[in-house]
């Protein structure tokens, strides 16, 4: 090995695990926002991440695997600025766009709940 390739290998050994740590930290942060900060679990579960909804009465669907190609329109819907398919969201999201983006990235990285 040349000095250069040894350096590269050493860099890869450090950088690759760091990427995994960064990715899972973002996932943990998103889950904490969803569960603790914004209490989305009042109405939604995310079964594939082991997140249950608080109540069957208010249960409004599992969000595992949820993805949208129009995050801005979704944000307006969750902020109750604009209906979606003629319906208003039940709860007004009043957090930051950054937090919402973290949550959406996390949801779309997960598996949808198994049908049946
Ligand atoms: C008071 C109950 C309630 C709370 C709390 C709530 N939601 Fe919802 N949400 C609903 C209902 C009802 C729907 C419409 C039913 C549906 O489309 O699944 C919905 C729909 C959605 C959708 C669209 C789902 C789809 O399949 O089209 C997303 C995304 C969503 N909510 C995200 C969130 C997030 C993120 C939070 C927390 C910041 C949250 N919701 C908090 C009741 C709630």
CA–CA dist 15, 21 (Å, integer): 10
Q: In percent, how much of the chain has pLDDT > 70?
A: 97
> Is the pLDDT confidence value at 1 over 80?
no
CA–CA dist 34, 95 (Å, integer): 11
Structure token pair of residue 7: 């350096």
Domain ranges of the chain: 29-108
> Is the pLDDT confidence value at 116 over 80?
no
CA–CA dist 115, 106 (Å, integer): 20
Give the pLDDT confidence of 48-80 residue by residue, as tens digits: 999 999 999 999 999 999 999 999 999 999 999
CA–CA dist 112, 97 (Å, integer): 24
Mutate to test the pocket of ligand 1, among 59, 67, 78, 86 (most ligand atoms within 8 A of CB): 78
> Is the pLDDT confidence value at 13 over 60?
yes
Question: Directed axis angle between helix 3-32 and helix 97-108, to 10°?
Answer: 110
User: Quick check: CB of 113 below 6 Å from ligand 1?
Assistant: no
């Amino acid at each position: 090995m040349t000095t250069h390739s040894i350096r590269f290998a050493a860099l890869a050994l450090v950088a690759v695990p760091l990427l995994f740590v960064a990715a899972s930290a973002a996932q943990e942060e998103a889950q904490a926002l969803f569960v603790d900060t914004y209490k989305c679990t009042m109405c939604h579960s995310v079964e594939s991440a082991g997140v249950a909804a608080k109540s069957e009465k208010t249960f409004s669907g599992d969000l595992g695997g949820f993805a949208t190609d129009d995050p801005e329109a979704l944000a307006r819907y969750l902020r109750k600025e604009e209906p979606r398919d003629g319906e208003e969201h039940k709860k007004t999201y009043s957090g930051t766009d950054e937090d919402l983006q973290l949550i959406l990235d996390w949801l779309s990285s997960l598996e949808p709940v198994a049908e049946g």
